[in-house]
C-alpha cells in the first residue's frame, strides 16, 4: 500500500508518516514547508519506502503526479493556526479551498481513496454540551478573518461530500478537536506549546480573555491510529467523524497545570483578545466533542491524560533543535520549486 500524506512535514502529518511506515506502507509526503519542517521527518528520512516532495497543493500538476502514484491519500495540508489565518487570510483561504479541490480532483481522476482532515472549528460558536457530526454550525461574520478557517474547512467538507455523491469518490472526513503532542509549534497561535514555551522560559503565561473558555485536548498518539482505521473503513465513505479529547478544561486551569507540571516560577497574565488579534476578535466559550460515531466505527477512545500530554510537549520543546528553521526562512513557499527530495 502506498499512501500520500499532504502536509506530512507538519505536526500531525509527521506522526502519521511514522505510523504508516511502521505498518509496512510506502509513504509520499507532499509539503511546501510553510508551517511544516524537514526536522519533523528526521526519523524516517533514510527509509527507502519514504519520499518527500517539496511542493504545494496549489499546483495541480504536482498534486496529480503524487496522487497518481498512491493508493490512498491523507489530506492534511492546510494553513493552520489562528495567528496565521488572521495575519494571512488570503493565502490561507487559497490553500484551504483551492488546494483541497486540487486533491479531490486528482483522487477522482486516479481512483485513490481519500481521508480529509477537517476541524471542530467548523462548529463555530455552538457551545452545546457535546457536539455531534450533525450539530449546527454557528459562525461569526464573514468580515472577521477569524472565521475564514472554519468557512474554508466547511467548503472543503461540502466539496468532498459532492465528489462522493456525484462521482462516488471514496472520501471520508475527520473533524479533529484540539490535538497536541511533540512537534507542535506555538508560533502560529497553538495554545499548549505557546503556554508551555512561556513556562519553560520563565515568562508570564498569556491567557486570552478571562481564561474561562474550555477545550478538550487529545493526544496525537490517540488520534493517529484512529485516523488510519477510519481511512480503512469503507463504511466511512461520504461521512464525517469527530475525534476529540475526553477531558474538558478551561485555559486558565490549563495554564495552572502547565506551571505545576513544568515546575515553572511563571505567573499567569490575562490578555484581552483585541491586544492579541485586533479588535472584534471572537472566540468560542467551549467546545466539547461527541465521539460516539468514531467510537462505534473504529473503537476510538482518547486514553492519554492532559498531564501526560503537557509533559510530552514540555519535553519536546526543551530538547527541540530547530536545525531546519533556516529552510523556512530562506525558501518562501511561493519560491520552493516542486521536486522530489529523498
Ligand atoms: N492540530 C490540531 O489541533 C488540529 C485541529 C483541527 C484540525 N487540524 C487539521 O489537521 C491538519 C494538520 O494540522 P497540524 O496541526 O499538523 O498543522 P501543521 O501546520 O503542523 O501541518 C500542516 C502542514 O501542511 C503544510 N502546508 C500548508 N500549506 C500547504 C500547501 N499549500 N501545500 C503543501 N503543504 C502545505 C505545512 O507546511 C505543514 O507541514 C490540518 O488540515 C488541520 O486543519 C489540526
Which of 152, 129, 130, 157 is CA-nearest to residue 139?
152
Q: Tell whether the model's pLDDT for residue 86 goes beyond 90.
A: no
Q: What is the mean pLDDT of residues 254-269?
A: 97
User: Per residue in 165-205, pLDDT tens?
Assistant: 999 999 999 999 999 999 998 887 799 999 999 999 999 99
Longest Cα–Cα distance in the chain:
58
Q: Tell whether the model's pLDDT for residue 337 goes beyond 60.
A: no
Q: Which listed residue (123, 149, 163, 277) is catalytic? A: 149
Q: What is the mean pLDDT of residues 210-219?
A: 96
* pLDDT the model gives residue 213: 95
* pLDDT the model gives residue 327: 28
Domain ranges of the chain: 2-341
| Ligand 1 center from residue 9 Cα (angstroms) | 9
| Ligand 1 center from residue 74 Cα (angstroms) | 11
The strand order across the sheet containing 240-243 reads: 240-243, 171-176, 113-119, 72-75, 2-6, 26-31, 50-54, 339-341
* Cell numbers representing residue 213 in the block: 473558555
User: Per residue in 14-73, pLDDT tens?
Assistant: 999 999 999 999 999 999 999 999 999 999 999 999 999 999 999 999 999 999 999 999
CATH hierarchy code of domain 2-341: 3.40.50.720
| Ligand 1 center from residue 79 Cα (angstroms) | 6
The answer to whether 149 is a known catalytic residue is: yes
Using CB distances shorter than 6 Å, the residues near ligand 1 are 6-7, 9-13, 30-36, 56-58, 76-80, 95, 99, 117, 119, 176, 178-179
115, containing H or E segment: strand 113-119
Amino acid at each position: 500500500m502506498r499512501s500520500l500524506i499532504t502536509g506530512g512535514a507538519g505536526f500531525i502529518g509527521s506522526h502519521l508518516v511514522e505510523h504508516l511506515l511502521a505498518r509496512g506502507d510506502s509513504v509520499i509526503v507532499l509539503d511546501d514547508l510553510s508551517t511544516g519542517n524537514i526536522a519533523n521527518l528526521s526519523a524516517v528520512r533514510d527509509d527507502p519506502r519514504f519520499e518527500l516532495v517539496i511542493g504545494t497543493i496549489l499546483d495541480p500538476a504536482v498534486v496529480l503526479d503524487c496522487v497518481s502514484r498512491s493508493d490512498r491519500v491523507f489530506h492534511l495540508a492546510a494553513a493552520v493556526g489562528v495567528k496565521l489565518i488572521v495575519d494571512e487570510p488570503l493565502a490561507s483561504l487559497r490553500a484551504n479551498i483551492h488546494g483541497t479541490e486540487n486533491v479531490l480532483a486528482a483522487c477522482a481522476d486516479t481512483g485513490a481513496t481519500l481521508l480529509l482532515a477537517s476541524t471542530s472549528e467548523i462548529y463555530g460558536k455552538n457551545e452545546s454540551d457535546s457536539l455531534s457530526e450533525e450539530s449546527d454550525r454557528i459562525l461569526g461574520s464573514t468580515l472577521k478573518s477569524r472565521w475564514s478557517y472554519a468557512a474554508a474547512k466547511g467548503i472543503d467538507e461540502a466539496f468532498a461530500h459532492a465528489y462522493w455523491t456525484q462521482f462516488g469518490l471514496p472520501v471520508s472526513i475527520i473533524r479533529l478537536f484540539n490535538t497536541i503532542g511533540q512537534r507542535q509549534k506555538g508560533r502560529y497561535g497553538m495554545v499548549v506549546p505557546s503556554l508551555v514555551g512561556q513556562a519553560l522560559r520563565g515568562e508570564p503565561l498569556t491567557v486570552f480573555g478571562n481564561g474561562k473558555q474550555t477545550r478538550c485536548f487529545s493526544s496525537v498518539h490517540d488520534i493517529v491510529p484512529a485516523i488510519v482505521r477510519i481511512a480503512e473503513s469503507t463504511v466511512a465513505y461520504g461521512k464525517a467523524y469527530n475525534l476529540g479529547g475526553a477531558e474538558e478544561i478551561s485555559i486558565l486551569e490549563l495554564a495552572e497545570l502547565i506551571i505545576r507540571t513544568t515546575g515553572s516560577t511563571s505567573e499567569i497574565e490575562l490578555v484581552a483578545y483585541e491586544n492579541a488579534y485586533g479588535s472584534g476578535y471572537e472566540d468560542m466559550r467551549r467546545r466539547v466533542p461527541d465521539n460516539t460515531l468514531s467510537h462505534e466505527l473504529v473503537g476510538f477512545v482518547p486514553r492519554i491524560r492532559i498531564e501526560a500530554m503537557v509533559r510530552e510537549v514540555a519535553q519536546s520543546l526543551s530538547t527541540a533543535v530547530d536545525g531546519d528553521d533556516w529552510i523556512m526562512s530562506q525558501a518562501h513557499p511561493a519560491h520552493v520549486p516542486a521536486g522530489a527530495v529523498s
